Amino acid sequence: MTESSIQRDKWNSKAGFIIAAAGSAIGLGNIWRFPYVAGENGGAAFVILYILFVLLIGLPVMIAELTIGRNTQKNPIGAFLKLFPKSSWKYFGVMGVLTGIGILSFYGVIAGYTIGYFVKLLLGQFDTIAGAVESQRIFEEFTANPYVSVGYLFVFLTFTGYIVLGGISAGIEKWAKILMPILFVLLIILAIRSITLDGAIKGLEFYLEPDFSKVTASTFVMALGQALFSLSLGMGAMITYGSYLSKKDNIISSAASVCFFDTLIAILAGLVMFPALFAMGMNPSGGPGLVFIVLPSIFSKFPGGIYFGAGIFLLLSVAALTSTISLLEVAVSYFVDEKKWTRKKATVLMSIFAFICGVPSALSMGSSDWLSDLPILHIGVLELMNAVFGNYSLALGSLLVAIFAGYKWGVKAVKREVHQFGNEFKYFWLWSFLIRFLCPIAISIILGYIIITGNYF
């Protein structure tokens, strides 16, 4: 037992952890999902609510998850088993592992598209694109091809598995350190390009000037759902990443840095999308296709734009990749820690499992009528998976983390773990208040609302 914990891999440094955890948090959620959700929910007013939720709910829950992970040095199931061996909390861990695979299965489909688009741009398929309508047609044709959708899902999961196979410091951390800085620089360049397009100003107004008349109950629901998803909370990804954290590192400042970078990138992604969107005369509530339809129509408008665009889709894939590895790592760490599987066996089997679970989502984007419009529910499988795993499960999971840290394990235990090696827990009183009262109450109200109204996020 002790032997296996001595051998357990660790992040090389605090900075390495922050980059890897920011890599998990920063992904399609920031660059693909945030702009379209903000667009559908009124722009700036949504962004303000979103930031409030990150600070008041996301950050406290992240601190709780990282602390549980670091204290136990275990995967989510093992962590609860270690702290309370006889309780039912381990089933919460089971939910986390399943949610990780559930998200990976549909997320991998969209991530696969980003590789597909990278290839398409390089092959010159957007060189002469006329505008948004054509861009839309290309996207629909692309997703409706079953070989393409399933094929790219497979490719994406293979890359994910390859990195996870390398382990923590030599796999996940090493790759995150290479990939994240490049992503950041490219996003800034693209934001500048987008803001300087003719007619961009209307987009900036939409994005930066709040119109609170657009805020409804569903704006709250969407903002919270987006914050939890974007910060990778509620399914044990941060418990798992925290479990590889050194006892010397300060959990509070690490968590704050991850939340800061994640929000920064989401806001930057909005600065890329909205000005361009308005400059092209497109509707800001373009939905999930936004990134695939709007970006290519911008690239074709300036010299060398196509190669630049290819670079951006490559980087979108990269951002997605640093997230999918965290989704896979949760299940892998469970089988390695608890079932004593080799990392190789766990990685290969879990990747295959995620692939099988992902096929219906891949086929639901136009290849199969039935999967694209399920009976009774009238949504596609990918949308359903997103609602169940990407939204409900993360909200329920975050609620349970708050209750666990606030009451079951207790705020004092959390404080003790944070204090290791003389580290400070700044604003402990505030954190205790948020995790014990605000987080559970706010998340319960929102969960109750979606259950009663039957709305998913």
Q: Which amino acid is at 30?
A: N
Q: Residue 171: CB partners within 8 Å, gap ≥ 6? A: 163, 164, 165, 325
Site string for ligand PHE, 45-84 (x = CB under 6 A): ----------------------------------------
- Choose one: 26-34, 161-169, 270-278, 380-388; the region binding ligand PHE (CB under 6 A): 26-34
Closer to ligand PHE by Cβ: residue 17 or 126 = 17
Q: What is the smallest separation between the CB atom of 447 and ligand PHE, expressed in angstroms? A: 17
Tell me how far apart the alpha carbons of residues 165 and 341 are, in angstroms, rounded to a whole number: 13
Q: What is the smallest separation between the CB atom of 100 and ligand PHE, expressed in angstroms? A: 7
Contact 358, 153 (CB under 8 A): yes
Cα dist from 413 to 89, 329, 400, 417, whole Å: 17, 26, 17, 6
Tell me how far apart the alpha carbons of residues 327 and 161 are, in angstroms, rounded to a whole number: 11
Tell me how far apart the alpha carbons of residues 322 and 21 are, in angstroms, rounded to a whole number: 9
- For residue 309, what are its two tokens? 């665009």
| Interface pick for ligand PHE out of 25, 63, 293, 310 (rule CB under 6 A) | 25
Binding to ligand PHE (CB under 6 A) within 94-113 occurs at: 103
Tell me how far apart the alpha carbons of residues 11 and 31 are, in angstroms, rounded to a whole number: 26
Closer to ligand PHE by Cβ: residue 163 or 200 = 163
Closer to ligand PHE by Cβ: residue 27 or 42 = 27
| Interface pick for ligand PHE out of 16, 20, 22, 30 (rule CB under 6 A) | 30
Q: What is the smallest separation between the CB atom of 58 and ligand PHE, expressed in angstroms? A: 11
Site string for ligand PHE, 388-417 (x = CB under 6 A): ------------------------------
Tell me how far apart the alpha carbons of residues 388 and 182 are, in angstroms, rounded to a whole number: 33
Longest CA–CA span in the chain (Å) reads: 64
Closer to ligand PHE by Cβ: residue 27 or 69 = 27
- Left (φ > 0), alpha (ψ -120 to 50) or beta: where does 186 sit? alpha
Closer to ligand PHE by Cβ: residue 107 or 207 = 107
Pseudo-torsion of CA 383, 387, 391, 394, nearest 10°?
-110
Cα dist from 196 to 91, 128, 270, 271, 279, whole Å: 51, 22, 14, 11, 10
Q: What is the smallest separation between the CB atom of 326 and ligand PHE, expressed in angstroms? A: 5
Angle of helix 290-299 relative to helix 305-338, nearest 10 degrees, comes to 150
Q: What is the smallest separation between the CB atom of 234 and ligand PHE, expressed in angstroms? A: 7
- Choose one: 25-33, 66-74, 277-285, 349-357; the region binding ligand PHE (CB under 6 A): 25-33
Q: Residue 299: CB partners within 8 Å, gap ≥ 6? A: 121, 126, 305, 306, 308, 309, 312
Q: What is the smallest separation between the CB atom of 103 and ligand PHE, expressed in angstroms? A: 6
Question: Which residue's C-beta sits nearest to ligand PHE?
Answer: 29
Closer to ligand PHE by Cβ: residue 317 or 432 = 317
Binding to ligand PHE (CB under 6 A) within 270-329 occurs at: 323, 326-327
Q: What is the smallest separation between the CB atom of 206 and ligand PHE, expressed in angstroms? A: 22
Q: What is the smallest separation between the CB atom of 401 and ligand PHE, expressed in angstroms? A: 13
- Choose one: 2-10, 24-32, 170-178, 303-311; the region binding ligand PHE (CB under 6 A): 24-32
Q: What is the smallest separation between the CB atom of 315 and ligand PHE, expressed in angstroms? A: 13
Binding to ligand PHE (CB under 6 A) within 211-240 occurs at: 229-230, 232, 235, 237
- Residues in the interface with ligand PHE (CB under 6 A) total 15
φ, ψ of residue 111 in degrees (nearest 5) = -60, -40
Q: What is the smallest separation between the CB atom of 248 and ligand PHE, expressed in angstroms? A: 25
| Interface pick for ligand PHE out of 16, 23, 29, 380 (rule CB under 6 A) | 29
Tell me how far apart the alpha carbons of residues 67 and 28 are, in angstroms, rounded to a whole number: 26
Q: What is the DSSP string of 209-272?
A: S--GGG--HHHHHHHHHHHHHHTT-SSSHHHHHHTTS-TTS-HHHHHHHHHHHHHHHHHHHHHH
Q: What is the smallest separation between the CB atom of 230 and ligand PHE, expressed in angstroms? A: 4
Contact 234, 394 (CB under 8 A): yes
| Interface pick for ligand PHE out of 27, 35, 167, 358 (rule CB under 6 A) | 27
Binding to ligand PHE (CB under 6 A) within 322-361 occurs at: 323, 326-327
Contact 113, 152 (CB under 8 A): yes
- Choose one: 20-28, 44-52, 89-97, 395-403; the region binding ligand PHE (CB under 6 A): 20-28
Q: Count H helices and E strands in the chain, helices first.
A: 24, 0
Pseudo-torsion of CA 239, 423, 176, 350, nearest 10°?
-20
Q: What is the smallest separation between the CB atom of 266 and ligand PHE, expressed in angstroms? A: 8
- For residue 267, what are its two tokens? 């806001």
State the residues that interact with ligand PHE by CB under 6 A. Answer: 24-25, 27-30, 103, 229-230, 232, 235, 237, 323, 326-327
